[in-house]
């Protein structure tokens, strides 16, 4: 921690620093409806910057020792709680601080959205926006969320506008204070450095058993901070967050790590998959395009493209990519996805072969959760398509249009329903998703029952049977929606 400097020592201390100073100003939004939506993040951001060492932070707050020393020395007169940008610039000039970092962070239910703008010599140098939401015991954890935002911005600053500044090497100099400098050290490209995780992994396993998300996040963040160039620890964080249902943290860490390790294409693909699970298709596509641009024919890229086609219910395109992926290296995950593609294509024999070959690796909890999440996302799309086709077929049967077009629609509907059943029955559900899985299986059975009722009603031209089929389809939709509420993972979502 930075030490309190007396006002009389301020200017002398400022002149002695090697790191540039940064004045952190958190802009606060007014309360609405007697509620404060602000999330205090300035001090966590200062701590993250101080830990990194590229810059010397000062928070615009009387609780900050350096800021208070500047006020007592008369460098800042009557500071406002929410200063204007011009007032912040003037204060930075008087304190000989090179950077001003303006931060805003607002909470929206169980998530916080923040933005930062970095100014250098009164000119905007960089800006960023980020969302985060860490929960503990099913409730929003403001401290852990603020710490996550702070660490994220520090890593992005290090990879962006401050990449030419050297991080701290060795122990912190407790007698230093901020000053102005012109950095001359060029950043070196990241080097993959394996770290010793012999103490980390047992602690992590215990916290995961307790489902203590904030402590897991803190443990892994500290591990990354200790070895920022260790790709394995970043992958461990991403995989763990996915396994614990913290998909937003996993997605953002995967994207951030991909920026630091551009040759590690699998990070882009992990980010793409995680953003897709969050429903952020734009971010997912952006990360996938980056991966394809760097390694268009690599097995991991082909697997990701196959997964994308799979979720678009395009079995032919999915098989084209997945067959190439397994040709380059038949991993169990590629085989699992190829099995789902064969299920979509209606090839039960090849589905069984690939499903059996991929089964051994599913004993790992992270792998099992990832597979089930993918199966549920595919099932969601199949249920939507089957419901749409089923409603159209019902309407056609009611008006007597049961010719070739109707029969083709029924064949397609049956294929979707059979693929749904195969995907669900062949993918083991995590223990936390047992109840939801049972409801999904029930919904799948109801859809198959609907197909038989509709075919029978059309062949007999029976209005009563059509009414029964209509009720069965509606019941299947209700049961499927109820399964979403029951959850499918640690966070209650796929």
Domain harbouring 339, CATH code: 1.25.40
Could you tell me if 224 and 140 lie in one domain? no
> Do residue 50 and residue 87 come from a single domain?
yes
pLDDT confidence tier of residue 123, bands split at 50, 70 and 90: very high
The mean pLDDT of 146-166, rounded to a whole number, is: 91
85 to 26, 37, 82, 157, 228: CA distances (angstroms): 11, 21, 9, 20, 33
Q: In this structure, what is the dihedral angle of CA atoms 287, 291, 297, 299, given to the nearest 10 degrees?
A: -80
Q: What's the whole-number mean pLDDT along residues 315-334?
A: 90
Q: How far is CA 458 from CA 325, 387, 407, 467, 474, in A?
A: 43, 17, 10, 12, 18
Average pLDDT, the chain: 84
Q: Where does the pLDDT of residue 362 fall: very low under 50, low under 70, confident under 90, or very high at 90 and above?
A: low
Q: What is the pLDDT of residue 81?
A: 82
**365-398 vs 231-243: helix crossing angle, rounded to 10:** 50
Q: Is residue 176 part of a domain?
A: no
Task: Judge whether 193 lies within some domain.
Answer: no
Strands 111-120 and 99-108: antiparallel
Residue 169 has pLDDT above 90, yes or no: no
Closest listed residue to residue 257, CA positions, set 286, 237, 282: 237
What is the pLDDT at residue 18?
63
CA–CA gap between residue 158 and residue 143 (Å, rounded): 23
Given 109, 136, 159, the domain boundary residue is 159
* Structure-block tokens of residue 258: 């991909």
Q: Are 13 and 151 in a shared domain?
A: yes
Q: How far apart are the C-alpha atoms of 149 and 141, rounded to whole Å? A: 12
pLDDT for res 12:
45
SS (H, E, C) 385-417: HHHHHHHHHHHHHHCCCCCHHHHHHHHHHHHHH
Q: What is the pLDDT of residue 188?
A: 44
Residues 423 and 349 in one domain: no
Q: Is the pLDDT of residue 47 over 80?
A: yes
Q: What is the pLDDT of residue 13?
A: 47
CA distance 3 to 370: 46
Clarify whether residues 288 and 302 are in a common domain: no
Residue 182 lies in a domain: no
- Residue 191, pLDDT > 50, answer no
Q: Is the pLDDT of residue 36 over 90?
A: no
143 falls within a domain: yes
In degrees, to the nearest 5, what angle opens at C-alpha 83 toward C-alphas 79 and 85?
130
For residue 112, give the DSSP letter: E
What does the pLDDT read at residue 491?
40
pLDDT of residue 175: 43
Per-residue confidence band for 363, with pLDDT thresholds at 50, 70 and 90: low
> Rounded distance, CA 342 to CA 489, Å?
26
Q: What is the pLDDT of residues 246-301, one digit of tens each?
A: 889 999 899 888 887 888 888 999 999 889 888 888 889 889 998 898 888 889 99
- Report phi then psi at 89, rounded to 5: -60, -45
Gap between the Cα atoms of 142 and 165, Å rounded: 31
> What's residue 210's pLDDT?
87
Same domain, 40 and 151: yes
What integer is the mean pLDDT of 162-174? Answer: 71
Question: Does the structure show a pLDDT above 50 at 180?
Answer: no
CB 350 within 8 A of CB 328: no
Residue tagged 């990701």 (tokens): 304
At 486 the pLDDT is: 63
Can you give the CATH number for the domain in which 116 is found? 3.40.50.10610
Q: Please indicate, yes or no, whether residues 117 and 210 belong to a single structural domain of this protein.
A: no
In a domain, 252, yes or no: yes
Evaluate whether 241 touches 132 at the Cβ level (below 8 Å): no
Q: Tell me, yes or no, whether 319 lies in a domain.
A: yes
By mean pLDDT, which of 13-27, 92-106, 176-190, 410-424 is the weakest? 176-190
Choosing from 271, 294, 317, the residue where a domain stops is 294
108: number of CA atoms within 13 Å, CB side?
A: 6
DSSP three-state, residue 240: helix
Contact 38, 106 (CB under 8 A): yes
Percent of the chain with pLDDT over 70: 86
Q: Which domain holds residue 450?
A: 375-486
Measured distance CA(361)–CA(223) in Å, rounded: 27
pLDDT tops 60 at residue 105: yes
Q: Do 17 and 144 sit in the same domain of this protein?
A: yes
> Region 328-354: what's the mean pLDDT?
91
For residue 181, the model assigns a pLDDT of 40
Q: Which of 77-86, 137-146, 296-305, 442-451 has the lowest mean pLDDT?
A: 137-146
Under DSSP, is residue 236 helix (H, G, I), strand (E, B) or coil?
helix
Is the per-residue pLDDT at 33 higher than 60? no
> Distance (Å, rounded) from C-alpha 428 to C-alpha 363?
10
Return the exposure string of 221-247: e unless at least 16 CB atoms fall within 10 Å of the residue's CB, then b. bebbeebbbbbebbbbbbbbbbbbbbb
187 located within any domain: no
Residue range 160-189: mean pLDDT, rounded = 58
Same domain, 19 and 152: yes
Percentage with pLDDT > 90 across the chain: 44
**For residues 204 and 181, what is the distance between their CA atoms, to the nearest angstrom?**
41
Q: Residue 494 has what pLDDT?
A: 41
* Residue 166, domain member (yes or no): no
Could you tell me which residues come within 8 angstroms of residue 1 by beta carbon, excluding any fewer than 6 positions away?
Answer: 50
Strand 139-140 versus strand 135-136 pairing type: antiparallel
* Tokens (6 digits) for 352: 């069984």
Between helix 365-398 and helix 299-311 the angle, nearest 10°, is 30
The Cα-based distances of 141 to 32, 144, 147, 169, 206 in angstroms read: 21, 6, 10, 32, 20
Return d(Cα 358, Cα 70) in angstroms, integer: 64
Same domain, 36 and 136: yes
Residues 23 and 126 in one domain: yes
Residues 11 and 155 in one domain: yes
For the chain, how many structural domains are there in total? 4
Predicted pLDDT of residue 6: 43
- Backbone phi, then psi, for 58, in 5-degree steps? -135, 130
Say if pTM beats, i.e. exceeds, 0.75. Answer: no
Q: Given this model, what pLDDT does residue 208 score?
A: 85
Residue 78: pLDDT band by 50, 70, 90 thresholds?
confident
**What is the average per-residue pLDDT within 222-249?**
86
Query: Mapping DSSP to helix (H, G, I), strand (E, B) and coil, where does residue 275 land?
Result: helix
Instruction: Give mean pLDDT, residues 222-248.
Output: 86
Q: Inform me whether the pLDDT recorded for 15 exceeds 50.
A: no
Of 363, 391, 415, at which residue does a domain stop?
Answer: 363
Q: Return the CA Rg of the chain.
A: 28
């Amino acid at each position: 921690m930075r030490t309190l400097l007396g006002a009389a020592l301020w200017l002398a201390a400022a002149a002695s620093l090697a790191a540039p100073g940064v004045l952190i100003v958190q802009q606060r939004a007014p309360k609405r409806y007697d509620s404060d939506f602000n999330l205090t993040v300035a001090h966590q951001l200062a701590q993250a910057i101080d830990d990194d060492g590229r810059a010397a932070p000062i928070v615009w707050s009387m609780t900050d020792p350096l800021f208070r020393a500047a006020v007592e020395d008369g460098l800042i007169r009557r500071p406002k709680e929410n200063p204007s940008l011009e007032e912040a610039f003037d204060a930075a000039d008087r304190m000989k601080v090179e950077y001003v970092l303006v931060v805003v962070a607002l909470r929206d239910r169980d998530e916080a959205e923040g933005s930062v703008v970095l100014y250098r010599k009164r000119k905007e140098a960089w800006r960023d926006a980020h969302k985060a939401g860490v929960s503990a015991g099913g409730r929003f954890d403001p401290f852990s969320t603020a710490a996550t935002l702070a660490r994220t911005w520090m890593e992005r600053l290090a990879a962006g506008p401050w990449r030419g500044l050297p991080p701290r090497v060795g122990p912190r100099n407790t007698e230093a204070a901020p000053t102005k400098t012109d950095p001359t050290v060029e950043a070196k490209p990241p080097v993959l450095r394996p770290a010793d995780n012999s103490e980390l992994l047992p602690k992590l396993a215990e916290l995961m058993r307790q489902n203590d998300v904030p402590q897991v996040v803190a443990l892994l963040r500290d591990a990354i901070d200790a070895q920022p160039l260790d790709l394995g620890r970043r992958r461990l964080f991403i995989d763990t967050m996915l396994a614990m249902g913290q998909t937003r943290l996993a997605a953002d860490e995967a994207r951030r790590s991909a920026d630091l390790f551009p040759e590690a294409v699998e990070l882009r693909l992990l980010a793409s998959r995680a953003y897709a699970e969050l429903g952020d298709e734009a971010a997912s596509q952006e990360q996938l395009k980056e991966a394809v641009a760097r390694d268009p024919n690599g097995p991991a890229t082909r697997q990701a493209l196959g997964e994308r086609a799979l979720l678009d219910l395009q079995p032919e395109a999915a098989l084209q990519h997945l067959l190439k992926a397994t040709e380059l290296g038949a991993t169990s995950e590629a085989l699992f996805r190829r099995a789902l593609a064969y299920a979509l294509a209606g090839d039960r024999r090849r589905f069984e072969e690939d499903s059996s070959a991929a089964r051994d690796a599913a004993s790992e909890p992270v792998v099992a959760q990832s597979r089930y999440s993918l199966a549920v996302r595919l099932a969601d799309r199949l249920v939507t398509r089957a419901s749409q086709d089923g409603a159209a077929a019902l309407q056609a049967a009611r008006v007597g249009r049961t010719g070739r077009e109707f029969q083709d629609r029924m064949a397609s509907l049956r294929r979707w329903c059979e693929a749904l059943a195969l995907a669900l029955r062949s993918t083991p559900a995590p223990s936390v998703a047992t109840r939801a899985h049972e409801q999904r299986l029930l919904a799948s059975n109801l859809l198959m029952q609907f197909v038989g009722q509709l075919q029978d009603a059309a062949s007999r031209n029976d209005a009563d049977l059509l009414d029964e089929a209509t009720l069965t389809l509606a019941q299947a939709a209700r049961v499927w929606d109820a399964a979403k509420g029951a959850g499918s993972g640690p966070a209650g979502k796929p």
